Amino acid sequence: MPFTYFFDSVKKISRHNRIMITKSKQNLTLFQLCTLLLTIAETSASVFNNVSCTSNKTFTPNSTFNTNLNTLLSYLSSNVTNNVRFFNATVGKDSNTVYGLYMCRGDVPFALCRECVGFATQTIPSSCPTSKEAVIWYNECLLRYSYRFIFSKMEEWPRHKINIPLGDPVVLHSNGFYTALGSIFDELPNKAALDLSESNGYAVKQENASGSVTLYGLAQCTPDLAAGDCKLCVADAVAEFVKSCCGGSIGASVLFPSCIVRYETYPFYQHSGTSAPTMIQRGRNIGTEVLVIVVVLLVVLAMLFGFSYCFIRIKARKKRKASDRENFGPELTVLESLEFDLATIEAATNKFSEDRRIGKGGYGEVYKGILPNGEEVAVKRLSTNSKQGGEEFKNEVLLIAKLQHKNLVRLIGFCQEDREKILIYEYVPNKSLDHFLFDSQKHRQLTWPERFKIVKGIARGILYLHEDSRLKIIHRDIKPSNVLLDNGINPKISDFGMARMVATDQIQGCTNRVVGT
């Protein structure tokens, strides 16, 4: 909108304070010296303007919200090192969520931006020790946090105004001063909105007022705003100069949470044309873009890994089946009927949980499991230190599967997957004989008829292995812990890890190592 009304209003305000003096060369020199000193001061350190704290929403010290706020401020401060002039972040969840952002002025060097945000994160907790919402303004940056969502929302409250009423009367009351100021104010809203759609919402403009006096104007929106909101925010800030702030001032600023507008009679910003440096980044948008890229890359990598894993598994399975077909021939069908996958075994034993473990030995551990059909089984998980190869393990499985006798524990299946070697047996509820013989209380539970029954059952099982089976087997590890007892106290010989098959007519043999009991 045109600012003719602005010129007239400011002239009326300043006319009351007009002091008719004659401008001298010395006065002009002093004025120029002061503006030079102001410029040097502003480019060397952060200049505090104001801080606003909400009083109606507070938190308790050392609360979860307090912890999340400290984490947020630390995170915002540390992100300036990544050469980002705008950044927002969220910490916590539910009622303890804290939203925060910082914005550095578009022309400020990164070192000064980092210093300013650092000062802000240190000052705001002490200035607003229990406020759930606050905003702090410096010449070089602004920082705010809140308990509510504040991103991409145009907000004009709380606000702060600064004006410098001291100035050269001749300059202030000349038409050139207000014409130049009106030209700047006319252009800044559109310019900031246009720059926001292309870059970062930062706009500057300078106009010659009269002779040696030039006016410099600056506007900037937080880069998460929409272009229309940015334009409205700057226009409303400009209107504040007329309504309640800065008529007749040689310099002034209006500070909103979502935008800032300022003018001076000296170059308070680093002049580099009409737009901000291209290195200014929108922290939230960049964060979102980076997040999207990272997620897409992770999904692609996960898919590639999944396809590769499946391909390798399928190829290895085909290779293993070809090897098994060559080694086991017609018995391969029997072997395949006994094989379980690892996922089924893990589900049956609750992933080999400690409360399912019912035994432990040098061979490995035994767990109670429940198959999908409801059948209870004993799962023997062989030690990973076992030097037995895959082919030898399957030979043992076939050997045990062929042994069918009421005094031998029945093999239900096996699993060989991911370096795991697992045998699945029928579940025998009374555990092993040693639990009765060597327990001070339970050894009395076995009557002599039951003991005799156990001895006969063990003898029948050994006789079957030595004489009646199609294969002649020497167990070599008969001991109480390898004799299981069912509900009827019937013995069942188990653990064929040391068993050795011999020829049917063989009565003696040699071995390279001594094993057995």
CA 252-138-233 angle, to 5 degrees, is 60
Task: Please check whether residue 450 lies inside any domain of the structure.
Answer: yes
Cis peptide before 372 (omega within 30 of 0): no
Q: Is pLDDT of 497 > 80? A: no
Domain limits at 164?
A: 1-20+152-279
Same domain, 268 and 393: no
Cα dist. 74→69, 88, 118, 227, 290 in Å? 9, 12, 9, 30, 21
Task: Yes or no: say if 410 and 334 are a contact pair by the CB < 8 Å rule.
Answer: no
Q: Quote the pLDDT of residue 407.
A: 92
Token readout for 22 is 């004659």
Known catalytic membership, residue 186:
no
Q: Is pLDDT of 486 > 50? A: yes
Mean pLDDT of 89-118: 93
Q: Among the ranges 275-284, 292-301, 319-328, 504-513, which has the highest mean pLDDT value?
A: 292-301
Task: Please check whether residue 29 lies inside any domain of the structure.
Answer: no
Task: Please check whether residue 50 lies inside any domain of the structure.
Answer: yes
Task: Please check whether residue 461 lies inside any domain of the structure.
Answer: yes
Q: What is the CATH number of the domain that holds 479?
A: 1.10.510.10
Q: Is pLDDT of 18 > 50? A: no
Q: Which residue has tokens 């070809």?
A: 322
Same domain, 213 and 79: no
Q: Which residue has tokens 């910082």?
A: 102
Q: At what angle do helices 390-402 and 283-328 cross, to 10 degrees?
A: 60
Same domain, 233 and 209: yes
Q: Quote the pLDDT of residue 6.
A: 44
Q: Quote the pLDDT of residue 48.
A: 94
Q: Quote the pLDDT of residue 176.
A: 80
The residue from 151, 176, 200 where one domain ends is: 151
Task: Please check whether residue 13 lies inside any domain of the structure.
Answer: yes
Same domain, 345 and 323: no
Token readout for 92 is 């916590």
Cα dist. 62→67, 129, 267 in Å? 7, 11, 45
Same domain, 158 and 226: yes
Q: pLDDT for 282-323, tens place per residue?
A: 444 445 556 778 888 888 898 888 888 888 878 777 776 666
Same domain, 274 and 372: no
CA 343-348-353 angle, to 5 degrees, is 95
Q: Which residue has better confidence, 272 or 239?
A: 239
The residue from 98, 133, 151 where one domain ends is: 151
Task: Please check whether residue 39 lies inside any domain of the structure.
Answer: no
Q: Which residues pair with 58 in a beta bridge?
A: 131
Q: Which residues pair with 491 in a beta bridge?
A: 485
Same domain, 182 and 244: yes
Q: 7-24 burial, b for 16+ CB within 10 Å, e for fewer?
A: bebbbeebeeeeeeeeee
Task: Please check whether residue 308 lies inside any domain of the structure.
Answer: yes
In which band, very low, low, confident or very high, does the pLDDT at 346 lie, cut at 50, 70 and 90? very high
Cα dist. 229→1, 99, 141, 257, 514 in Å? 16, 20, 20, 13, 88
Q: pLDDT for 384-424, tens place per residue?
A: 766 555 666 776 777 777 788 899 998 898 888 878 889 89
Q: Quote the pLDDT of residue 392.
A: 62
Determine if residue 380 is labeled as part of a ligand binding site.
yes
Number of domains in the chain: 4
Token readout for 110 is 């990164």
Q: What is the CATH number of the domain that holds 274?
A: 3.30.430.20
Which residue among the candidates 195, 224, 229, 477 is catalytic per the annotation?
477
Q: Which residue has tokens 């931006």?
A: 113
Q: Quote the pLDDT of residue 288.
A: 56
Token readout for 80 is 């300036």
Same domain, 88 and 146: yes
Same domain, 351 and 264: no
Task: Please check whether residue 121 lies inside any domain of the structure.
Answer: yes
Token readout for 414 is 């096996």
DSSP secondary structure code for residue 82 in this structure: G
The residue from 237, 259, 279 where one domain ends is: 279
Same domain, 139 and 83: yes
Same domain, 168 and 80: no
Q: 10 Å Cβ neighbour count for 252?
A: 21
Same domain, 323 and 387: no
State pTM to two decimals: 0.49
Token readout for 464 is 């079957």
